[in-house]
Amino acid sequence: MRDQALQLLFQGRSVRDVAVQLGLPQQTVYRWHRTCISQSELMQARVRIEMLEGEVAACRHLIDLMKEVVPPKDVTR
């Protein structure tokens, strides 16, 4: 029933309409919708984190390669 309610919401139906049609309390439909959105945002954040971690790893690899080729500057302080 939850999947059906979420599908109706994503089709543009109002929470009230979905609740009446499925015989559910409006608060239940609101909670399901809020939970679904939170999980979606969490999934997007995890994908973004994985992408950024990949970029950081690539940058670190390039830095290591550059350290092998370019000698350090002669620093005196």
Domain that holds residue 24: 2-69
Summarised one tens digit per residue, pLDDT across range 23-77 is 999 999 999 998 888 888 889 999 999 999 999 999 999 999 998 888 777 766 6
In this structure, is residue 76 part of a structural domain?
A: no
Q: Is the pTM of this model over 0.85?
A: no
**CA distance linking residue 20 with residue 5, whole number of Å:** 11
In this structure, is residue 74 part of a structural domain?
A: no
In this structure, is residue 58 part of a structural domain?
A: yes
In this structure, is residue 77 part of a structural domain?
A: no
CA-to-CA dists, residue 69 to 38, 40, 61, 66, angstroms: 47, 44, 13, 5
| Number of domains forming the structure of the chain | 1
In this structure, is residue 18 part of a structural domain?
A: yes
In this structure, is residue 39 part of a structural domain?
A: yes
In this structure, is residue 12 part of a structural domain?
A: yes
